[in-house]
Structure 1
Amino acid sequence: MSQAAEIELASVSKIYGSTRAVHAISLKIPAGSYCCFLGPSGCGKTSTLRMIAGHETVSEGDILLGNTIVNDLPPARRGTAMMFQSYALFPHLDLVDNVAFSLKMQGIEKPERRNTALEMLKRMQLEPYASRRPAQLSGGQQQRVALARALITRPQALLLDEPLSALDPFLKIRMRAELKSLQTSLGMTFVHVTHSQDEAMALADLIVVMNDGRIEQAANPRTVFERPATAFVAQFMGNHNVISGRVVERTGDMTTIEVNGGGRFTALGVPTHDDPHADFALRTDHIRLAPADDPGFGFTAIVQNVEDLGATVKLSVAGAGVEDFTVVLRDADYYRNPVKAGDAVPLSWARNDAIILGRVAG
């Protein structure tokens, strides 16, 4: 296999007519890492992947693979391979010829390309199915054929466009593990586009959260999960409450904000912007049903709804001017002292659990 390559985006933009789909993003993806671009539909993640692949032109900026600017190179000369969402297998060809197709396009003789294709099928544990056609395979097997076909060109980086979206939930989880195992064993740079937070958390060394054509945060999964950089990241990852209010006090490394309903809360950090308003994030599973030791680190809420999710119980609550607030408790903690809709409950959290969020420059 070819040596893995670092990928660098230097102020890369994509403009379609009067629409700027990607706004001057800069990023370094280390060689041999698994990078996931994560975000909602229309955020620019697929356009970015297609620019790296060479299937879209770069409107502004540069893309480097290793030390080479590849903006003007066709896809076949970039040292990348792309695996598409649809797999795009040829229905009339057997697996060997499907996998060997790109070698055929390179003019490699039939015996050599078929032998190489068989080796790739063996790596994917598909050798017994070599004479079958795609329609005779399961979804997971088809995906492995598509992977084998992408890897046969010995790329420096493999680009994956929502490769698990067509699979059922159980197969998704199994194929996720296979992808990570394959990337680790090959030591290759993988760049994977997804809208699934779970997928990105499970696979990535580097998560790049995109919104409206901009990078909101690029960090390892644990940092994105525990320390979201912006309100968008905190809300998109789905494990934080985000509260917005007016800054009323700064003391050392703590900031106190007041929400419209009059509640005051203190959070760790100081806003880096001049806006008199600020947002803070608080993990839904770091909240206790107990009175706060200090003012600013809790409030009394009315339970709106209770959902038993098995291992956890989710409470939707409101109070102190905060209308949409979620508490996730371990099932044992909830059933030790169960509550129901309409109950008033004290909520609290540790001093360092609420964190001030940043803003992405417009």
Structure 2
Amino acid sequence: MSQPAEIDIISVSKKYGPTTAVDAISLKIPAGAYCCLLGPSGCGKSSTLRMIAGHESISQGDIRLGGKVVTDFPPAKRGTAMMFQSYALFPHMDLIDNVAFSLKMKGVEKGERRARALDMLKLMQMEPYASRRPAQLSGGQQQRVALARALITDPEALLLDEPLSALDPFLKIRMRAELKRLQKNLGITFVHVTHSQDEAMALADLIVVMNDGRIEQAAHPREVFERPATAFVARFMGDHNVVSGRVTGHRDGLVTFEVPGGPELAAVGRPMEAGRAVDVAIRTDRVRIGAPEQEGFGFTGIVSNIEYQGASVKISAAGAGIEDFTVIADDTAFFARPIVIGEAIPLSWAARDALVLGRLDS
């Protein structure tokens, strides 16, 4: 089995004519890490993955794999394997021949390649289906075969392009656990493209949030969740409200700021000059319905939407200078004192649950 490889992306850009899909990104993915490239459609994550694989040329910059510059190497010489979103299995071949195909292309003798393919199918718990063709399998089973085919080349890094997107919600959760188990057992570097925040949080030990061809934040999932680096990350991860205003001062480790047409609030942050524009993230699950307690902050909001989510209720509200604000309330507390759309409610939080965010232009 190959040793896992560190992947080093050095000032890499990808341009399609006048359009910049990936804009001078730099990133180190540690050997043996499970890295998820996360972001909305068109943010550059799939282009980045394809450049690592060698399926897309690099307009500028370099990619190192295990300390070796692979920028100009063809895919087969890089030590990576790629699993495509469509799985791309050959419909006329049985599973053994599908999995063994890359070995056949390398001239490996038939008996050896079929034996190795059967070992890979065992690893994926697909041995009983070895003589079947892809059309006779479920989506989850096809995915396992595609994984076996990618891994038979003994790669230093496995690259996965939205591998769970075609599966139903129940199967997605099962396959997430399978991917995590597989990566831990094999110990190789996984780089996984997804637009699902839940998927990235469940799988990764390194989340790379991308937007408009750039990296907004690359960190452990807990860091991304608890300390989003920018307003985009806070909004995209969906667990923070973002409130914008102008700095009015600083006291006791808190930045005070004024929301245009709204209240003066405070958040944890380093001293900043008065009058500077600032974005502040406030955890949705730390907001309470009720007047601020001592050292707390808040405003009165008009409820615009209510969504029951089982263990919790998502309440959307708007107030002076604050257009879109979310509260995640415990279902028991909500139904003990129900709220209706159009109602004015006091919302509050502790200053420590508000965080000054960075800005890409600052």
For the criterion TM > 0.5, the same-fold answer is yes
> Contact (CA 8 Å) 1:21, 1:212: kept in 2 or not?
yes
Aligned residue for 2:57, secondary structure, equals coil
Structure 1 unaligned regions, length at least 5: none
Residue 284 of structure 2 aligns with an amino acid whose one-letter code is T
Q: Distance in 2 between matches of 1:157 and 1:144?
A: 17
Aligned residue for 1:222, secondary structure, equals helix
For residue 302 of structure 1, report the CA deviation from its aligned partner. 2.2
> Contact (CA 8 Å) 2:247, 2:272: kept in 1 or not?
no
User: Equivalent residue for 1:111?
Assistant: 111
For residue 252 of structure 1, report the CA deviation from its aligned partner. 4.8
Residue 312 of structure 2 aligns with an amino acid whose one-letter code is T
> Contact (CA 8 Å) 1:271, 1:357: kept in 2 or not?
no
Count of paired positions: 362
> Contact (CA 8 Å) 1:271, 1:358: kept in 2 or not?
no
**Larger displacement relative to structure 2 (327-336 or 87-96):** 327-336
User: Equivalent residue for 1:58?
Assistant: 58
**Larger displacement relative to structure 2 (181-190 or 302-311):** 302-311
> Contact (CA 8 Å) 2:262, 2:322: kept in 1 or not?
no
User: Equivalent residue for 1:249?
Assistant: 249
What percent identity do the matched residue pairs reach? Answer: 71
User: Equivalent residue for 2:83?
Assistant: 83
Q: Distance in 2 between matches of 1:127 and 1:81?
A: 22
Cα distance per residue 1:31-63 (max 9 Å; x no partner): 111000000111010010000000111111110
Structure 2 unaligned regions, length at least 5: none
Q: Distance in 2 between matches of 1:69 and 1:296?
A: 53
User: Equivalent residue for 1:359?
Assistant: 359
Q: Distance in 2 between matches of 1:35 and 1:330?
A: 32
Aligned residue for 1:328, secondary structure, equals strand
Aligned residue for 2:352, secondary structure, equals coil
User: Equivalent residue for 2:73?
Assistant: 73
User: Equivalent residue for 2:143?
Assistant: 143
**Larger displacement relative to structure 2 (139-148 or 270-279):** 270-279
For residue 283 of structure 1, report the CA deviation from its aligned partner. 1.1
**Larger displacement relative to structure 2 (106-115 or 321-330):** 321-330
**Larger displacement relative to structure 2 (88-97 or 16-25):** 16-25
* 1:126 aligns to 2:138 (yes or no): no
| Aligned positions of 1:165-176 closer than 5 A | 165-176=165-176
Q: Distance in 2 between matches of 1:244 and 1:122?
A: 54
Residue 257 of structure 2 aligns with an amino acid whose one-letter code is I
Q: Distance in 2 between matches of 1:76 and 1:346?
A: 61
Residue 145 of structure 1 aligns with an amino acid whose one-letter code is V
For residue 310 of structure 1, report the CA deviation from its aligned partner. 1.2
Q: Distance in 2 between matches of 1:107 and 1:9?
A: 32
> Contact (CA 8 Å) 2:317, 2:324: kept in 1 or not?
yes
TM-score by length of 2: 0.97
Aligned residue for 1:297, secondary structure, equals strand
Residue 354 of structure 1 aligns with an amino acid whose one-letter code is A
Residue 109 of structure 2 aligns with an amino acid whose one-letter code is E
Aligned residue for 1:146, secondary structure, equals helix
Residue 126 of structure 1 aligns with an amino acid whose one-letter code is M
Q: Distance in 1 between matches of 2:169 and 2:259?
A: 40
C-alpha change, 1:271 and 1:163, in structure 2 (3 Å) is: farther
User: Equivalent residue for 1:293?
Assistant: 293
Q: Distance in 1 between matches of 2:122 and 2:169?
A: 26
Residue 337 of structure 2 aligns with an amino acid whose one-letter code is N
Q: Distance in 2 between matches of 1:165 and 1:187?
A: 24
Cα distance per residue 1:190-214 (max 9 Å; x no partner): 0000000010000000000000000
C-alpha change, 1:231 and 1:271, in structure 2 (3 Å) is: farther
User: Equivalent residue for 1:330?
Assistant: 330
**Larger displacement relative to structure 2 (114-123 or 341-350):** 341-350
Cα distance per residue 1:304-337 (max 9 Å; x no partner): 2222211101111122321211111111121232
User: Equivalent residue for 2:231?
Assistant: 231
Q: Distance in 2 between matches of 1:29 and 1:143?
A: 25
User: Equivalent residue for 2:314?
Assistant: 314
User: Equivalent residue for 2:268?
Assistant: 268
Aligned residue for 1:48, secondary structure, equals helix
User: Equivalent residue for 1:258?
Assistant: 258
For residue 275 of structure 1, report the CA deviation from its aligned partner. 8.0
Residue 37 of structure 2 aligns with an amino acid whose one-letter code is F
User: Equivalent residue for 1:6?
Assistant: 6
Cα distance per residue 1:233-268 (max 9 Å; x no partner): 011111111011111222353212211223111111
C-alpha change, 1:255 and 1:296, in structure 2 (3 Å) is: farther
Cα distance per residue 1:262-303 (max 9 Å; x no partner): 311111113779982110001111111121124761112222
> Contact (CA 8 Å) 2:250, 2:272: kept in 1 or not?
no
**Larger displacement relative to structure 2 (58-67 or 85-94):** 58-67
Q: Distance in 1 between matches of 2:275 and 2:181?
A: 45
TM-score by length of 1: 0.97
User: Equivalent residue for 2:339?
Assistant: 339
